[in-house]
């Protein structure tokens, strides 16, 4: 039986969420805020529709032609074709497939297309920043892939190239994965390209976190460094709706398309593709400025936290080249404690395993990961990063009252209510 009280409670919780999160500094590195136009797309009629189908070549302007199984898709088809072309342009890809409904599913699509049961893959371990979908406990396991982690250099916070070469020669992976969720510096794709060719491995670059930086031309360019495939989410540094995509070279286009449909997906959540199409146009116009500001902000935040006494990783390397700042808070009670403390003051971050943590520390790992995508989209710059670092120091180092700090957070956020870098 429908319960009107629960219905009303759900509506009230939506309002509470919007009211509360509107007064928070959201610094989850994997989250972002979409523009009003993207939000409109997400609530549009496209969210009710199906457009299952196969790809049927391109027209003379290079737009995709679709062979759909249902009627009613004539407007949607035009939008998906535009979105594909824009994604190809932004990432320097020959072909884009926008069917995967999330980043993890994008990875599964690549595994389905390019590997067989029992094949081996190399990637980062979870502690060193690999995503669960790179490992046997998630998508790679579903495809029956055996995963071997790259040796990792803690000081560099990066893959150890020489040791990785040995591992690759020994394990002969079918796929070599790059990219991760704890991701401060570009990965050695070009350094390991030759060995990939030598053993006939595909390079799959998981850009879930850094897609907005790549599209804004402020991070490594995976295809020019030798990647065969880019898998990604569409909602982390890339400011689209939650979703996924696979970008590839021409010689893999058909395999990827068939793995996506009919291989893995039926409905591909058309409203997400429509929202993505809008965000791709925003990125074509504003992406460089947005990505540049993100990196300036993360560096400024890291420096300011460091100066106040936080143990920010990689000081000698300038802390970060991405949208993330990673802090070892093991001396302050651990990541769980600090993330919860920050939440009391409306600063939202996540606790994070650091490379030297064992998986048993997942509940209270050594680190916190701080991301600047959303505050950057709201127009904050270096001076606001210093203010935020000051508030974090008052909370975690000076043990000032969280309720009191919360008022400062609300006041700071009040000046930044409008999404920038959009039309
Ligand atoms: C977030 C993430 C994913 C998964 O993306 P979802 O859209 O959450 O499914 C995959 N790979 C990496 C590296 C990620 O950080």
Q: How confident is the model at residue 51, as a pLDDT?
A: 97
> Domain 287-414 carries which CATH code?
3.90.1150.10
Contact 49, 72 (CB under 8 A): yes
Cβ neighbours for 178, distance < 8 A, ≥ 6 positions apart: 123, 159, 187, 188, 189, 203, 204, 205, 206, 222, 227
Average pLDDT, the chain: 97
> Ligand 1: which atom is nearest the Cα of residue 242?
7
How far, in Å, from the CA of 131 to the mean position of ligand 1? Answer: 6
How far, in Å, from the CA of 132 to the mean position of ligand 1? Answer: 8
1 — pLDDT class (breaks 50, 70, 90): low
2 — pLDDT class (breaks 50, 70, 90): confident
Contact 236, 209 (CB under 8 A): yes
3-state secondary structure of 235: coil
Question: Which of 179, 182, 224 lies closest to 204, judged by CA?
Answer: 179
Question: Which of 274, 200, 262, 266 lies closest to 234, judged by CA?
Answer: 274
DSSP for 176-207 reads: EEE--SS--S---HHHHHHHHHHHTPEEEEE-
Per-residue pLDDT tens over the stretch 216-264: 999 999 999 999 999 999 999 999 999 999 999 999 999 999 999 999 9
Per-residue pLDDT tens over the stretch 127-138: 999 999 999 999
φ/ψ region of 8 (left if φ > 0, alpha if ψ in -120 to 50, else beta) reads alpha
Per-residue pLDDT tens over the stretch 302-317: 999 999 999 999 999 9
CA-nearest residue for atom 2, ligand 1, is: 208
Query: Which strand (E) or helix (H) includes residue 289?
Result: helix 270-307
Q: How confident is the model at residue 403, as a pLDDT?
A: 97
CA-nearest residue for atom 3, ligand 1, is: 103
Mean pLDDT of 284-305: 98
CA-nearest residue for atom 5, ligand 1, is: 103
CA atoms within 13 A on the CB side of 266: 2
How far, in Å, from the CA of 104 to the mean position of ligand 1? Answer: 5
Mutation to probe ligand 1, out of 126, 127, 208 (largest number of atoms < 8 A from CB): 208
Please report, for the chain, the start and end positions of each structural domain, with discontinuous segments joined by +.
Answer: 39-281, 287-414
Q: How confident is the model at residue 3, as a pLDDT?
A: 86
Per-residue pLDDT tens over the stretch 19-43: 999 999 999 999 999 999 999 999 9
- Check residue 151 and report its DSSP letter: P
Per-residue pLDDT tens over the stretch 374-419: 999 999 999 999 999 999 999 999 999 999 999 999 999 999 999 9
The whole model's pTM is what? 0.98
pLDDT-above-90 percentage for the chain: 99
Structure token digits, residue 73: 């898709």
β-pairing, 202-206 vs 229-233, is parallel
Pocket of ligand 1 (CB under 6 A): 30, 102-104, 107, 131, 133, 179-181, 206, 208-209, 233, 244
Angle at the Cα of 257 from the Cα atoms of 233 and 235, rounded to 5 degrees: 10
**The architecture CATH gives domain 39-281:** 3-Layer(aba) Sandwich (3.40)
How far, in Å, from the CA of 29 to the mean position of ligand 1? Answer: 11
Structure token digits, residue 203: 């390079």
């Amino acid at each position: 039986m429908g319960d009107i009280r629960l219905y009303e409670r759900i509506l009230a919780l939506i309002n509470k969420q919007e009211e509360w999160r509107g007064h928070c500094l959201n610094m989850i590195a994997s989250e972002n805020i979409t523009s009003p136009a993207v939000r409109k797309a997400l609530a549009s009629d496209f969210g009710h529709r199906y457009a299952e189908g196969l790809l049927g070549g391109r027209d003379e302007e290079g737009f995709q032609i679709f062979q759909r199984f249902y009627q009613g898709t004539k407007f949607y088809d035009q939008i998906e074709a535009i979105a594909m072309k824009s994604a190809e342009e932004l990432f320097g890809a020959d072909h884009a497939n926008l069917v995967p409904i999330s980043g993890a599913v994008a990875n599964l699509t690549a595994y389905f297309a390019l590997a067989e049961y029992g094949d081996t893959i190399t990637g980062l371990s979870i502690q060193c920043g690999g995503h669960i979908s790179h490992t046997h406990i998630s998508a790679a396991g579903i495809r029956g892939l055996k995963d071997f982690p790259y040796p990792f250099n803690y000081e560099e916070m990066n893959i150890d190239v020489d040791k990785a070469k040995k591992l690759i020669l020994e394990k002969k992976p079918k796929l070599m994965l790059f990219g991760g969720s704890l991701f401060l510096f570009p990965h050695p794709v070009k350094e390991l390209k030759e060995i990939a060719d030598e053993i006939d491995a595909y390079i799959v670059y998981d850009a879930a976190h850094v897609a907005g930086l790549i599209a804004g031309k402020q991070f490594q360019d995976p295809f020019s460094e030798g990647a065969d495939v880019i898998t990604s989410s569409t909602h982390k540094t890339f400011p689209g709706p939650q979703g996924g995509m696979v970008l590839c070279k021409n010689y893999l286009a058909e395999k990827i398309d068939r793995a996506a449909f009919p291989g893995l997906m039926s409905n591909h959540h058309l409203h997400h593709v429509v929202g993505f199409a809008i965000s791709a146009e925003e990125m074509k116009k504003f992406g460089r400025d947005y990505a540049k500001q993100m990196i300036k902000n993360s560096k400024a935040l890291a420096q300011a936290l460091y100066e106040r006494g936080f143990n920010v990783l990689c000081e000698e390397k300038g802390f970060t080249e991405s949208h993330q700042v990673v802090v070892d808070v093991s001396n302050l009670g651990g990541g769980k404690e600090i993330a919860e403390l920050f939440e009391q003051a409306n600063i939202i971050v996540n606790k994070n395993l650091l490379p030297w943590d064992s998986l048993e520390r997942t509940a209270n790992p050594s680190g916190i990961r701080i991301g600047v995508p959303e505050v950057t989209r709201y127009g904050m710059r270096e001076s606001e990063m210093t203010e935020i670092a000051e508030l974090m120091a008052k909370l975690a180092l000076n043990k000032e009252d969280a309720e009191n700090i919360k008022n400062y957070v609300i006041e700071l956020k009040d000046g930044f209510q409008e999404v920038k870098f959009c039309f």
